[in-house]
Amino acid sequence: MIADNLYTYLVAQSVITNIVSTRVYPLILPQEPIYPAISYSDDESNYTESFDGQTDHTQAIFQLNAWAKTYAEATTLGNAISTALKNTSGAFGGINIQRCTIISGPLSVYEDSVEAYRQTYIFSIWHNEG
């Protein structure tokens, strides 16, 4: 559920859509992508428990990748992703976000297989499900 909300949130941010429009993809890019673009994956979810059992308080770990044909474009898009998500809280497409923080990044690489630059961030998103 949080992955759908992440997509909705990202494509609602003008700092993102001014660069990629709606080219935001779960897991992988399309076969012949148009750059710049974003891919994201839900790497891990950690559920909290209380003495009464499992709570709705959850930590989701997401990897977001900024893809572009040039290093400068990948960096600009990576910065836009960081601006849109870092320290975000409140309504997030129907889910309440307590805190969104950067765990690591940016990590910049050139991907020979697709002849594009990638800048990667890992985010922790604490939220309530349900």
What is the spatial distance between Cα 23 and Cα 21, in angstroms, rounded to a whole number?
A: 6
Domain that holds residue 122: 2-128
Q: What is the pLDDT of residues 58-84, one digit of tens each?
A: 888 999 999 999 999 999 999 999 999
CATH assignment at residue 91: 3.30.2000.30
Q: How confident is the model at residue 95 (pLDDT cuts 50, 70, 90)?
A: confident
Q: Count how many domains the chain has.
A: 1
Q: How confident is the model at residue 57 (pLDDT cuts 50, 70, 90)?
A: confident
User: Average of pLDDT values for 82-100?
Assistant: 86
Are 84 and 102 in contact by the 8 Å Cβ rule? The answer is no
User: Average of pLDDT values for 43-63?
Assistant: 66
Note the pTM of the prediction, 2 decimals. Answer: 0.87
Of 130 and 82, the structure prediction assigns the larger pLDDT to 82
